[in-house]
Amino acid sequence: MFELRFKRLSVAFDFSFFATVTLLTLLSETNAVLGLAACLWHELGHLTVMEIKGVSVKRVLFYGAGIKIIPDKSFGFTDFGTELAVLIAGSFANFAAAAGLWLCDDLRMKLFAVINAVIGAFNLLPVQSLDGGKIIVSVIRRFCDYERACMLESWLKRINGILIITVLIVFALLGKGNLTLYITLCYLLVVSLSKGS
């Protein structure tokens, strides 16, 4: 891993990020570049709202599974409205880009629109390591007492695991999907079942 430092912000690149980009580029150069651009646009949506709401960023980490923004302070110290706005902003940026790009006549721009829409929707899935799961956890913690929140988060983790395993089995039995899909689902399964998520 190597890291670049700018005053208060550090930008870190894990080796797994370069390995993933290389693999995806070998599989499909155009889609890999467009997918990376859509991921960057998604994170820019988060960063824009964080800047507007005054949430300072400590670190931006590029790793094999994507890009992670780490705020100076835990979201636990941020108000509920700000947290939801930041979490929703990434997918909103993707959907806005998809709507605008879909109006273009160029087929590559239409493909980029579809990739943005898929990344926006994917990040809203109720998996705890994605924005959708973080939104659910935030709502649970906001409106439930501590014991009930712990119980609901535990159930969410189990449901995530069961759904991901089911999707993996269905795609495998149908002979559908591709390497990227299987790697993504396996990653989500490991993260969903790990203690830290």
Say if pTM beats, i.e. exceeds, 0.75: yes
User: Burial level of 188, CB count in 10 A (0-12/13-18/19+)?
Assistant: buried
Per-residue pLDDT of the chain (197 residues; tens, 9 = 90+): 888 888 778 899 888 787 777 776 776 666 777 888 898 999 999 999 998 988 888 888 888 767 888 887 755 557 899 999 999 999 999 999 999 999 999 998 999 999 999 999 989 988 888 899 999 999 999 999 999 999 998 898 888 889 889 988 998 899 887 777 787 788 788 877 775 54
Surface-to-core class of residue 56, CB atoms within 10 Å of its CB (0-12 exposed, 13-18 middle, 19+ buried): exposed
The CA-CA-CA angle for residues 13, 16, 18, to 5°, reads 70
Q: Return the bridge partners of 2, or none.
A: 13
Please tell me the distance from the alpha carbon of residue 65 to that of residue 99, in angstroms, as a whole number: 25
CA distance 154 to 148: 10
Partners of 9 in the β-ladder: 6
Q: For position 64, what pLDDT does the model report?
A: 74
Residue 197: its pLDDT value, please?
Answer: 46
Given this model, what pLDDT does residue 54 score? 86
